């Protein structure tokens, strides 16, 4: 697509950059601390499940203290209207614990939302954060959109949001890491980054999400690693069901992903990149790739490709039933969430070269 058409399709009037898509410069020193993403505590943050033993998190500081006690080396956490004092306290405490901080931020919806976005970037900067993760889509592509037109409208708005964010992160020298969040297939994502063309906009590379979009997770890692600022490291298990297949995050080492090879590839491209565990404790997700609705937003996946992918899913089928958690009590679910994170942390330190 020519540049003029691309800009017009993605909300005219936004000033675009002209730099070509280039691999992010490689760092010098490896950071072997193992962090944890906020979504690994989905229940503690978002579901507000009543529990005396595992109360909901109410601040980034609470998550920092909890994860420090478990032995994590950093956290990726949402920036929630932090004032100057809260940002400075987080910076001081994370430094005392020798833990890194990464932010999680909402992209600006429109020009009127850029002041809010810049305020969040400033909060991150005061906290000593140099990388903020964002996602274009909060849900899942195949569940959110019923038509190709609706998806194209979302795509234009998402690109516009990134263009609005770029001058702000460039100004404050904060890296914006956009996640492959069950929204973009590889070529779509790289096309967007190419047209943004900024050294301040890269990727939070999730090692499992694009399974839901019928892409080989190892190929996703190979293609996206050169442009990545941060990693959501996860292992996955799959099995078939009537409308397609199911997939679940499972503890590191218990799924079918070649995690060691993925880490090797990523570190070859980005030796000093940080890894954050994203172990989401929940029921299996349905990937209904045999239904009409699933295909509403896809134009370039052939029947042959689908058949090959489903054969791959069948060959990787989990030996054990995928984990169910919704049938447990609140306390048991919340306890399992902590134990899953602890188990994966121990595995990462014993087997994957983290400390």
How confident is the model at residue 4, as a pLDDT?
A: 38
Q: Is residue 19, in this structure, part of any structural domain at all?
A: no
Q: Are 54 and 44 in contact (CB under 8 A)?
A: yes
Residues 238-288 pLDDT 10s: 999 999 999 999 999 999 999 999 999 999 999 999 999 999 999 999 999
Q: Token digits for 65?
A: 């203290």
Q: Is residue 300, in this structure, part of any structural domain at all?
A: no
What is the sign, positive or negative, of the torsion defined by CA atoms of 290, 293, 42, 174?
Answer: positive
Q: Is residue 199, in this structure, part of any structural domain at all?
A: yes
187-191, 210-214, 301-305: least confidently modelled range: 301-305
Given a cut of 90, whether residue 48 has pLDDT beyond it is no
Distances (CA, A) of 161 to 192, 195, 313, 341: 12, 13, 35, 33
Range of the domain at 145: 3-10+28-237+249-282+326-351
Among candidates 317, 312, 253, which has minimal Cα distance to 284?
317
Q: Token digits for 225?
A: 């690693």
Q: Is residue 105, in this structure, part of any structural domain at all?
A: yes
Given a cut of 80, whether residue 15 has pLDDT beyond it is no
Average pLDDT over residues 127-153: 97
Average pLDDT over residues 320-345: 96
Residue 180 is part of a domain; what is its CATH number?
Answer: 3.20.20.150
Q: Is residue 319, in this structure, part of any structural domain at all?
A: no
Q: How confident is the model at residue 21 (pLDDT cuts 50, 70, 90)?
A: low
Q: Is residue 42, in this structure, part of any structural domain at all?
A: yes
Q: Is residue 308, in this structure, part of any structural domain at all?
A: no
Q: Which helix (H) or strand (E) holds 165?
A: helix 148-172
Q: Is residue 314, in this structure, part of any structural domain at all?
A: no
How confident is the model at residue 161, as a pLDDT?
A: 98
Quote the number of domains for the chain. 1
Residues 79-105 pLDDT 10s: 999 999 999 999 999 999 999 999 999
Residues 335-348 pLDDT 10s: 999 999 999 999 99
């Amino acid at each position: 697509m020519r540049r003029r058409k691309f800009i017009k399709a993605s909300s005219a009037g936004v000033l675009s950059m002209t730099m070509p898509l280039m691999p992010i410069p490689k760092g010098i020193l490896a950071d072997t601390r193992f962090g944890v993403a906020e979504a690994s505590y989905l229940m503690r943050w978002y579901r507000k499940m009543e529990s005396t033993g595992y109360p909901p998190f109410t601040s980034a500081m609470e998550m920092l203290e909890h994860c420090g006690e478990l032995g994590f080396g950093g956290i990726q956490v949402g920036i929630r209207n932090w004032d100057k004092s809260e940002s400075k306290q987080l910076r001081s405490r994370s430094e005392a614990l020798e833990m890194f901080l990464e932010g999680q931020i909402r992209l600006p919806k429109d020009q009127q939302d850029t002041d809010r976005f810049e305020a969040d970037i400033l909060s991150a900067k005061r906290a000593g954060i140099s990388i903020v993760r964002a996602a274009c889509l909060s849900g899942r592509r195949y569940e959110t959109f019923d038509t190709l037109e609706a998806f194209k409208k979302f795509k234009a708005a998402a690109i516009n949001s990134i263009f609005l964010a770029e001058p702000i992160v460039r100004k404050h020298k904060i890296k914006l890491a956009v996640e492959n969040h069950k929204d973009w297939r590889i070529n779509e994502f790289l096309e967007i980054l190419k047209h943004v063309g900024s050294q301040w906009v890269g990727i939070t590379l999730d090692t499992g999400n694009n399974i839901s979009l019928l892409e080989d997770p190892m190929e996703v890692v190979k293609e996206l690693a050169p442009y990545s600022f941060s990693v959501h490291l996860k292992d996955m298990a799959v099995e078939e069901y009537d409308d397609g297949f199911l997939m679940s995050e499972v503890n590191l080492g218990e799924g079918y992903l070649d995690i060691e090879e993925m880490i090797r590839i990523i570190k070859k491209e980005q030796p000093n990149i940080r890894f954050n565990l994203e172990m989401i404790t929940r029921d299996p997700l349905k990937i209904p790739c045999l239904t009409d609705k699933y295909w509403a937003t896809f134009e370039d996946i052939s029947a042959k490709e689908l058949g090959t992918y489903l054969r791959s899913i069948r060959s990787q089928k989990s030996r054990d039933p995928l984990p169910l958690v919704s049938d447990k009590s609140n306390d048991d679910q919340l306890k399992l969430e902590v134990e899953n994170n602890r188990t994966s942390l121990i595995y990462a330190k014993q087997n994957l070269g983290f400390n």
